[in-house]
């Protein structure tokens, strides 16, 4: 039976959480909506309690003593309490579109080996300032932002999808558009609490290694990212990317991966390390990370 637990971490979200819950609570195939309040001093907790009282399928959890432990710990707590075979995620400031899981169900049925399905999400903007900042970060024009989808360039699956995530050359799916089988987490592990950003991509790479990602059967968005001034993506910089690459490289060393994958990861690690050290990506930085990579390969016969 296809039943989904939808996990929503709630932090600084009193303006948005009601819309998020309403967008998913009556969706077909949604068996439960798991809210994890993450200790922000606004009225979101009271709003969550109201919805938990109103809908039997809405369940509310908090960390011990109402502590703030971050998005990863909040999603992990939600996973621990999820009762369904399938798990999906929604950020508290975003919302699902009607028919969110119709094509997701078909994708899992069409491929019994699939452990995760990824689908596109759309974008909406709270203000023109938020739109402009989004355009700056994504390096797109205002025209391109009008119907912007967060999705991969090509609908890859299996090992090809894993390779594309390592390379970063095919784009990344959004957490709001991903549905996974809970069982794969026994192999892949949970969200890393060591990362403040990119913790979702880190997990998708591990799931793609131990399991199989497949694309949804359409290119229409299943959810919408609400872009505003407090989005966490605005905090991404060279330093956060270096921490992500450092952690990812440490993991890849522990698995029996091809030489090609180790070389891909090594190159991205040195790129991120150099950019983080100098906080820029100028010509000297590019010379630095290319030399580091070439020397590492030259003196490491295991990578020849």
* Chosen domain end from 234, 255, 285: 234
pLDDT at 65: 93
What's the Cα-to-Cα distance from 219 to each of 97, 223, 224, rounded to whole Å? 13, 12, 13
Q: For residues 263 and 137, state if they share a domain.
A: no
For the stretch 15-48, pLDDT in tens is: 999 999 999 999 999 999 999 999 998 999 999 9
Q: For residues 116 and 52, state if they share a domain.
A: yes
Which single residue is written with the structure tokens 């967008």? 23
Residue 53: how many CB atoms within 10 A of its CB? 10
pLDDT at 233: 64
Q: For residues 188 and 161, state if they share a domain.
A: yes
What's the Cα-to-Cα distance from 151 to each of 97, 175, 189, 216, 300, rounded to whole Å? 16, 10, 24, 11, 36
Range(s) of the domain holding residue 253 = 238-303
Q: For residues 184 and 211, state if they share a domain.
A: yes
- 187: Cβ–Cβ under 8 A, 6 or more apart, which residues? 210, 211
For the stretch 106-165, pLDDT in tens is: 999 999 999 999 999 999 999 999 999 989 888 899 999 998 999 999 999 999 999 999
Mean pLDDT calculated for residue range 54-67: 96
* Chosen domain end from 217, 234, 251: 234
- Residue 38, SS3? coil
CA–CA separation, 28 and 25 (whole Å) = 9
Q: For residues 120 and 243, state if they share a domain.
A: no
Q: For residues 201 and 277, state if they share a domain.
A: no
* Chosen domain end from 205, 234, 263: 234
Q: For residues 114 and 183, state if they share a domain.
A: yes
Q: For residues 91 and 65, state if they share a domain.
A: yes
For the stretch 163-180, pLDDT in tens is: 999 999 999 999 999 999
Count of helix runs (H) and strand runs (E) in the chain: 12, 10
- Residue 117, SS3? strand
What's the Cα-to-Cα distance from 57 to each of 6, 30, 92, 181, rounded to whole Å? 10, 9, 17, 20
pLDDT at 154: 93
The count of structural domains within the chain is 2
Q: For residues 254 and 212, state if they share a domain.
A: no
Q: For residues 128 and 216, state if they share a domain.
A: yes
Q: Three-class SS string for 149-188?
A: CECCCCCCCHHHHHHHHHHCCCCCCCHHHEEEEHHHHHHH
Of 204, 200, 33, the residue nearest 116 (C-alpha): 204
Please report, for the domain that includes residue 200, its CATH number.
3.90.550.10
pLDDT at 4: 98
Residue 190: how many CB atoms within 10 A of its CB? 17
Q: For residues 189 and 40, state if they share a domain.
A: yes
CA–CA separation, 183 and 140 (whole Å) = 38
Q: For residues 184 and 268, state if they share a domain.
A: no
pTM for the full model? 0.94
């Amino acid at each position: 039976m296809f039943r989904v637990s939808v996990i929503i971490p709630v932090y600084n979200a009193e303006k948005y959480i009601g819309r998020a819950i309403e967008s998913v609570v009556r969706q077909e195939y949604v068996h439960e909506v798991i809210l994890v309040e993450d200790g922000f001093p606004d009225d979101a907790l009271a709003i969550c309690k109201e919805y938990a009282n109103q809908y039997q399928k809405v369940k509310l959890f908090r960390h011990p003593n109402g502590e703030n432990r971050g998005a990863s710990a909040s999603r992990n707590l939600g996973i621990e309490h999820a009762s369904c075979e399938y798990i999906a995620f929604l950020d508290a400031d975003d919302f699902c579109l009607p028919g969110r899981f119709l094509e997701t169900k078909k994708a899992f049925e069409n491929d019994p080996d699939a452990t995760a399905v990824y689908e596109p999400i759309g974008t909406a903007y709270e203000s023109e300032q938020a739109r402009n900042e989004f355009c700056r970060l994504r390096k797109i024009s205002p025209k391109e932002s009008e119907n912007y989808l967060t999705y991969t360039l090509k609908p890859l699956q299996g090992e090809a999808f894993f390779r594309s995530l390592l390379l970063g050359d095919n784009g990344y799916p959004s957490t709001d558009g991903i549905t996974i089988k809970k069982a794969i987490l026994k192999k892949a592990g949970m969200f890393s609490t060591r990362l403040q950003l990119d913790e979702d991509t880190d997990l998708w790479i591990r799931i793609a290694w131990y399991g199989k990602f497949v694309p949804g059967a359409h290119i229409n968005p299943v959810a919408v990212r609400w872009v505003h001034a407090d989005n966490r993506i605005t905090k991404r910089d060279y330093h956060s990317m270096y921490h992500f690459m450092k952690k990812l490289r440490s993991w890849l060393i522990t698995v029996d991966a091809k030489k090609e994958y180790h070389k891909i990861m090594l190159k991205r690690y040195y790129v991120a390390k150099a950019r983080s050290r100098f906080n820029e990506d100028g010509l000297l930085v590019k010379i630095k990370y290319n030399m580091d990579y070439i020397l590492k390969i030259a003196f490491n016969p295991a990578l020849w």
